[in-house]
């Protein structure tokens, strides 16, 4: 999984299709992500001492990880991602559309260096 907290993603399926937002949380157990401004629902809250007015509280709900794609900063597209090793053995996440490196996953290793 190449999506992390703070990444810019675009929703590819569902009611919020083609909307972009920043990832706030990732849950690996249920493979869901919480995206800022996406999947908003109303939670009806009773009056309490903590919330004396009560009413409807708007909040984001997690969406499935398969319904979002990482946005490449170079080509500005929601794209599939892959992994490759550079010539010096650094493992990095790459954009499948333009081939640009998005982030490094691990430092250089001699076993994967092409020399």
Give me the CATH code for the 1-71 domain, please: 2.30.30.30
* Closest C-alpha to 96, from 114, 70, 115: 70
pTM over 0.95: no
Q: How many CB atoms lie within 10 A of CB 77?
A: 14
- 28-42 pLDDT tens trace: 999 999 999 999 999
The residues spanned by each domain of the chain are 1-71, 80-115
Provide the mean pLDDT of the chain.
93
pLDDT at 115: 64
Question: Strands 40-45 and 55-60, how do they pair?
Answer: antiparallel
1, pLDDT greater than 80 = no
């Amino acid at each position: 999984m190449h999506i992390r907290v703070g990444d810019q993603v675009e929703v590819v399926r569902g009611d919020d299709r083609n909307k972009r937002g920043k990832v706030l949380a990732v849950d690996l157990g249920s493979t869901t992500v919480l995206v800022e401004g996406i999947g908003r629902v109303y939670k009806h809250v009773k009056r309490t001492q903590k919330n004396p007015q009560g009413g409807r509280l708007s909040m984001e709900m997690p969406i499935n990880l398969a319904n979002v794609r990482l946005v490449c900063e170079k080509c500005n597209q929601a794209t599939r991602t892959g992994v490759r090793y550079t010539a010096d053995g650094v493992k990095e996440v790459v954009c499948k559309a333009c081939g640009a490196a998005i982030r490094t996953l691990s430092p250089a290793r001699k076993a994967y260096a092409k020399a």
